[in-house]
């Protein structure tokens, strides 16, 4: 008796359906919605373009400012000598995120910038929906976010911005967010003797803290704004210390301006008025 076989086209189609059904879903994918980044992959400014856009480059000649960069693990080993020759004099490296992630490239990035003569510091990407502010400050300090009065180490930075993994304000009310930030800043100061810098964007700050103005007297501001000017600052601050002005700069994308000459950067690192 002859054996009846499916037509080759049908076999191919059935095989394709079977393989598709068995294929694993990537850990970072949401089958019901848009792709969500893998936990730990966030970086300073991850939400700026999507939420605030970009409109030009900084005006020249308006004030003395010193070029800097910020880096994270996705940039891998950084060519610090190239950046130095291009005029970069200070750098921040992502150290931690939440209480679950440390940057595997931290040593090369943090020490590499120092070794070529830059003034360097570390930042923490906040995830207020995972653990408390004090716990995250401890984790940060314990994994590279400390400070020393050597004139070459900048104070730690709290990177508080849009949540790349879910709701923009991490599911917190404005008062809840302010409390979380206070807890982080208080513990960081207790552990290091320095006031942490706050990195944020004005629109996020307005939406997620209710325009809270109470941190400006103690905590320096690092503003995120990809434009020719910084624009309106978050409530309470009349000036910025640092400005992330682009995500498409040379050598590494994220470039910044310190609001002052390089001697002011050194004084800021050393906590000298």
User: Catalytic residues, which ones?
Assistant: 70, 159, 161
Any idea what DSSP says for residue 153? B
* Placement of tokens 């809270």 in the chain: 212
Phi-psi region of 173 (alpha: psi -120 to 50; beta: other; left: phi over 0): beta
Q: How far apart are CA 255 and CA 126, in angstroms?
A: 20
SS3 175: helix
The continuous run of DSSP H or E covering 125 comes out as strand 119-125
Q: How far apart are CA 98 and CA 41, in angstroms?
A: 11
SS3 89: coil
- DSSP conformation letters of 196-217: PEEEE-HHHHHHHHSS--TTTT
């Amino acid at each position: 008796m002859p054996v009846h076989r499916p037509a080759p086209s049908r076999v191919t189609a059935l095989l394709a359906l079977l393989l598709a059904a068995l294929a694993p879903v990537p850990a970072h994918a949401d089958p019901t919605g848009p792709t969500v980044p893998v936990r730990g992959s966030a970086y300073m400014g991850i939400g700026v373009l999507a939420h605030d856009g970009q409109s030009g480059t900084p005006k020249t000649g308006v004030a003395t400012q010193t070029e800097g960069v910020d880096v994270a693990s996705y940039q891998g080993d950084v060519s610090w000598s190239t950046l130095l020759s291009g005029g970069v004099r200070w750098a921040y490296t992502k150290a931690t995120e939440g209480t679950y992630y440390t940057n595997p490239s931290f040593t090369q990035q943090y020490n590499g910038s120092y070794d070529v003569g830059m003034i360097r510091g570390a930042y923490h990407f906040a995830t207020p929906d995972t653990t408390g502010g004090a716990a995250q400050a401890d984790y940060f300090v314990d994994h590279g976010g400390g400070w020393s009065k050597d004139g070459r180490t900048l104070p730690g930075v709290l990177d508080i911005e849009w949540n790349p993994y879910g709701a923009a304000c991490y599911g917190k009310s404005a008062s809840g967010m302010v409390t979380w930030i206070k807890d982080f800043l208080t513990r960081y100061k207790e552990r290091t003797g320095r006031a942490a810098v706050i990195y944020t964007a004005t629109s996020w700050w307005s939406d997620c803290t209710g325009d809270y103005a109470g941190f400006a007297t103690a905590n320096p501001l690092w503003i995120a704004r990809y434009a020719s000017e910084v624009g309106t600052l978050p409530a309470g601050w009349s000036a910025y210390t640092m400005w992330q002005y682009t995500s498409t700069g040379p050598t590494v994308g994220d470039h910044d301006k310190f609001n002052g000459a390089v001697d002011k950067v050194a004084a800021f690192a050393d906590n000298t008025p």
